[in-house]
Structure 1
Amino acid sequence: MSLSPKPRLLLAVPLPDDLTAQLESRCEVVVAPSGHFPPPDQLGALLPTVSGVATTAYCKFNADLISRCPDLRVIAACGVGLDHIDVPCATRRGVLVCNTPGLQNSTVAEMALALIFALARNLPANDAFVRAGTWRQHQVGLAIDIRGKRLGLLGLGGIGGYLATAAQALGLTVVYHKRSRDLAAEARGIAYVERDALFRGSDFVSLHLPLNAETRGSVGRREFALMKPGGFLINTARGSIVDEPALIEVLTSGHLAGAGLDVMDAEPIGADNPLCSTPNIILQPHAGGATRETRRRMEELTVRNTLAALEGRMPDIVVNPEAFQARQA
């Protein structure tokens, strides 16, 4: 009796040895060229031979790439956002798309809060002040209190909800705007405001939107002009939501006091990117969910999703269940 061949898996996400071993025991694992930053031309050469892909947001799966995969059953993303995957195309071709939502809500909220603290208290500038040896010669610049300020949340999902609770505990007034009212949040004292009022009245504006055709570039010159002089922008959502040239202009002019970005329009950026030479900006390498505990939970779920799909079972998390149903028909 011949054994069925193991399904072939393209691994484009770095995993710890024990989780990689789990995959290798049940799949033929092919590690993507260049780790989790595989160039599309190299991906194209591998995809026709694989049944599954485990990936990060840095690996783009457009319709052209998906169409080159006659045996593809699953694209398992280790992360929440799906703007790097053409989900409608995958669904039409019966390819399951999985992700890891909810696991990093509190972790990303902590990053947003850390950026608020760092900006309000001038932490990068003060660190440089001490390291430069100028503490004895000059007085440190004054920071601002967080307590009593207003935090505006554009979008209010799981991450925004965690951030709102923490901010309220610190004495900030929290307001939000989203398409549909969240009455449970309002019962907790998070006030709904119109979009323009959120930008106009907030000391800190924190973005918590998905990236799609409507939100791409939706926070730009008009929104920055509405913001208070001395206001701050926080983005831990998706970099392409923000018009980066407009942000650079408003920071350089001094209208905004600062920005904290964990995400950028094109990632990863190099040292020559204009953001790196813009004053009063704190940049992080899309590390909002990058804690040991959260990353482990995301990796474990990615492995479970991948193996379930390759073995014909419904994954724990699948964003297009109709593709699974079509496969079972």
Structure 2
Amino acid sequence: MRVLVTDAEYGVLDIEADVLAAAGHELLTARCRTADDVIAAAQDVDAVIVQYAPITAEVLEALPRLRLVSRYGVGVDVVDTDAARARGVWVCNVPDYGTVEVALHAVAMLLALLRNLAGHDREVHAGRWDYRLGGQLRRPGGLTLGVVGLGRIGRMTMERAAPWFGACVGYDPHLPDAAWPPGVERAGLEELFARSSAVTLHLPLTPESHGLVGADLLARVPPGSYLVNTARGGLVDLDAVLAALEDGRLAGVALDVLPEEPPPADHALLGHPRALLSPHVAWYSEESEAELRRKAAENVVVWARTGRPPHPVVEGR
């Protein structure tokens, strides 16, 4: 088979090449950014491995030979899954490569906000040695933690962070009661935001969840709350976050993902003293990157051999 990596940030794609070559498949590479780029590069290929390039309905229509899309990562929001389903194209992901890393990053961001580590660091580097300059800090045992999404990552984040808090509430409409984690009170989304002084997001980006955390939900949080997002940038309305930081509803926000990456150089959040930002790195370790790349290629190999990929999101034919 002919397999195209449409785009990737990983440099030399030796891991993918080795996995595919061992199974007798040919690897092609491109640097696609737009749907037109994908259409031009993916003529006469059987499968694509994609990071950020859009796999739209137009792409799928223009590539009748394409039978499988394997995504580097958990989310498949770059793929028009409805169009893929209608055309019988398999869509698969890698759901379990960076669970520990993302949960670790989310907890690290949460604790850094609670202790205002970035603020204290700035003051010390500026030559000011005064614990009061970092603002008021609160003991987490008197606060409630809210976890939005209790899949692999959300659950691990909850298990690590919740013992520091006085209570923990969760929201996940897809998780049945039989699988609900002990010690976490189930709540509706609006109730969770109204009760939680710290909220961490662990949801996929879908048309329904796009812009989920906006002015309405942020208006419900207790004054001086914290928000952490290591999931998808499109979940959060940044204008609403800035407004909540300015009026004190949010004492701090920590974001590893943004709606536009990288953000515009003049974006107000970049200079905000109570915004902790990292460059979509929560998933990364040397080990997780190697695992991600290997499993994205193995999706193709196993599908070619058995007719079904290990991690299907959309069933093909």
**Alignment TM-score > 0.5, same fold:** yes
Contact 2:19–2:294 at 8 Å: present in 1 too? no
**1:171–1:233: structure 2 CA closer, same or farther, 3 Å change rule?**
closer
Structure 1 position 239, deviation (Å) = 1.6
2:37 matched residue in structure 1: 42
1:92 matched residue in structure 2: 86
Contact 2:50–2:69 at 8 Å: present in 1 too? yes
Structure 1 position 159, deviation (Å) = 1.4
2:240 matched residue in structure 1: 246
1:28 matched residue in structure 2: 26
- 79-88 or 212-221, larger mean C-alpha shift: 212-221
Structure 1 portions without partners, runs of 5+: 1-5
**1:184–1:166: structure 2 CA closer, same or farther, 3 Å change rule?**
farther
Contact 1:206–1:235 at 8 Å: present in 2 too? yes
CA distance in 1, matches of 2:74, 2:166: 28
Structure 2 portions without partners, runs of 5+: none
CA distance in 2, matches of 1:8, 1:303: 9
CA distance in 2, matches of 1:126, 1:62: 46
Equivalent of 1:133 in 103, 110, 127: 127
CA distance in 2, matches of 1:187, 1:301: 28
**1:231–1:139: structure 2 CA closer, same or farther, 3 Å change rule?**
closer
The one-letter amino acid of 1:190's match is V
CA distance in 2, matches of 1:279, 1:138: 16
1:288 aligns with 2:282: yes
| 1:182-193 pair list within 5 angstroms | 182-184=176-178, 188-193=182-187
- 18-27 or 100-109, larger mean C-alpha shift: 18-27
| 1:106-145 pair list within 5 angstroms | 106-135=100-129, 140-142=133-135, 143-145=137-139
Per-residue CA distance 1:17-70 (angstroms, 9 max, x = gap): 24433335533322222xxx63433223112232221111x2211111221112
Structure 1 position 158, deviation (Å) = 1.7
SS at match of 1:218: coil
- 267-276 or 59-68, larger mean C-alpha shift: 267-276
1:298 matched residue in structure 2: 292
CA distance in 1, matches of 2:92, 2:175: 28
Structure 1 position 139, deviation (Å) = 5.3
Per-residue CA distance 1:179-231 (angstroms, 9 max, x = gap): 25653565621111232221111110112222222221122111111101100
Of all paired residues, the percent bearing the same amino acid is 32
Contact 2:299–2:309 at 8 Å: present in 1 too? yes
Contact 1:47–1:68 at 8 Å: present in 2 too? no
Contact 1:96–1:309 at 8 Å: present in 2 too? no
1:154 matched residue in structure 2: 148
Per-residue CA distance 1:228-284 (angstroms, 9 max, x = gap): 110011112222122221111111233210111111112232322332133411112
Equivalent of 2:209 in 215, 232, 235: 215
SS at match of 1:12: coil
CA distance in 2, matches of 1:180, 1:96: 23
SS at match of 1:147: helix
> How many residue pairs are counted as aligned between the two chains?
313
1:233 matched residue in structure 2: 227
The one-letter amino acid of 1:87's match is T
Structure 1 position 172, deviation (Å) = 4.4
Contact 1:252–1:278 at 8 Å: present in 2 too? no
1:52 aligns with 2:40: no
Per-residue CA distance 1:113-160 (angstroms, 9 max, x = gap): 11111111111122222222233x885425333334210112222211
Structure 1 length-normalised TM: 0.86
Compute the RMSD of aligned alpha carbons. 2.4
Structure 2 length-normalised TM: 0.89
CA distance in 2, matches of 1:154, 1:200: 13
- 210-219 or 78-87, larger mean C-alpha shift: 210-219
**1:278–1:66: structure 2 CA closer, same or farther, 3 Å change rule?**
farther
CA distance in 1, matches of 2:190, 2:64: 47
Per-residue CA distance 1:84-118 (angstroms, 9 max, x = gap): 10112122223211101133233222111111111
CA distance in 1, matches of 2:311, 2:226: 35
2:192 matched residue in structure 1: 198
